[in-house]
Amino acid sequence: MPTPRVLENMVAQTMLLVLEDICIDQVDSDDRSKVDIVIIGKPTEELRKRNVLSIHTVHPLGPPKDTEVIMEGAPTKPNERPYKWPPETIGGMRTRNMFGTVQINLRQNVKAPEALALIGAIDSRIRQGVDRDPRLRSFKDDFGNFMHLIQTYQAYGYASGGGKTSLHRRWVDWRGTIHSPNWREGDL
């Protein structure tokens, strides 16, 4: 029996393809902000490369501060919409959220102004890829769960590693909304 397809793996594999396209394939070879490798998980031997992106579907620094405020609840501004769906909205499904991140490791020995320019270009490419690429729009796994509304955001204190200041490392946080079937064992 093959391993069932699950949302976490589907999102990570698709994000890997999207980021390889936008941060490697579509960047000129002489551009210093070109990423050398995109991986899933914690980089180890890959850190010998100049620019490394690592995709995490669970934030390594833990849940962001005020997670529920960031993702759910009443809108705080007139142009915002609430992210909390009542169960009847999506056919009686439960709604939960996946919080992940893409870690940028800039491994070049450059001064602060150039580091800011390089990491800023990489950050913008990641945000463009995650927010706009049609491959990251919706997923459905073998358990009946489906995900939509994948977008980047900034969790407080995580931009450079959870309170530590670093010009050569940045976290680009993303979130996705998952709807799961709301049935019990006896209802099937």
Distance CA 163, CA 76 (A): 26
Distance CA 46, CA 84 (A): 39
For position 156, what pLDDT does the model report?
58
For position 182, what pLDDT does the model report?
65
Residues 6+ apart with CB under 8 A from 168: 105, 106, 107, 108, 115, 119
Question: Are 96 and 34 within 8 A, CB to CB?
Answer: no
For position 179, what pLDDT does the model report?
85
Question: Are 36 and 107 within 8 A, CB to CB?
Answer: no
The helix/strand/coil state of 4 is coil
Torsion of the alpha carbons at 177, 119, 12 and 74, rounded to the nearest 10? -10
Spans in the chain with pLDDT lower than 50: 68, 70-73, 162-164, 185-188
For position 70, what pLDDT does the model report?
47
Mean pLDDT of the chain: 79
Per-residue pLDDT tens over the stretch 41-84: 988 777 778 889 999 988 777 665 555 454 444 555 555 555 55
The helix/strand/coil state of 124 is helix
Residues 6+ apart with CB under 8 A from 137: 148, 150
For position 136, what pLDDT does the model report?
92
How far is residue 95 from each of residues 119, 134, 147, 156, 179, measured CA to CA in Å? 34, 22, 10, 23, 5
CA atoms within 13 A on the CB side of 68: 3
